[in-house]
Amino acid sequence: MSVARRRAFITSVGDLLASWNLPHATGRVYGLLLVTEEPASLDAIAAELELSKGAVSTSVRQLDSWGLARVIPQPGSRRLLIEATAGIETLLEASHARARTLIAALRDGEDLVNPGPAQDRLHDVIGLFASYVDVGEQMLSRCRHTR
């Protein structure tokens, strides 16, 4: 892959993740990790993307929390290596965990509303997120069984 094409890809992933309300730098770090053969250090990522080490560190924490990257500690060293995760499975699993937390919080509020529009709305939102998790779990199960 040419350097120009690599940079365009990295920028494109940055733009896409920015449309998901993640910082552009986070998307660029993810784009770089996707096209990097071996796990990369924070310093290497910062140098290639011309970002501060702090911006890269923040980006890596965000990617890790979304299940898009994995941090690999180096025994006997403070140095960390980072790699992109395998893909949709880890992203869905992380998203499902967030959705389950939201569902639990919403259910905690069910006793705050009387029968009527607010209760109906709250139940609709709980149902929406519960359905999202259920369908996603079915997708993941099918993916795992086809391997």
pLDDT of 59 strictly over 90: yes
Both 97 and 138 in a single domain?
yes
Q: Is the pLDDT of residue 48 over 90?
A: yes
Query: Looking at residues 54-65, what average pLDDT do you find?
Result: 93
CB atoms within 10 A of CB 82: 24
CATH of residue 75? 1.10.10.10
Kindly state whether residues 44 and 74 are assigned to the same domain. yes
Query: What band does 76 get if pLDDT is binned at 50, 70 and 90?
Result: confident
Question: Domain end: 32, 63, 84, which one?
Answer: 84
Range of the domain at 114: 88-145
Same domain for 111 and 98 = yes
pLDDT in tens, 85-116: 876 677 777 778 888 999 999 999 999 999 99
Sheet holding 80-84, edge to edge: 40-41, 80-84, 69-73
- Please give the single-letter amino acid code of residue 128: L
pLDDT at position 65 over 70: yes
pTM of the model: 0.68
Domain count, the chain: 2
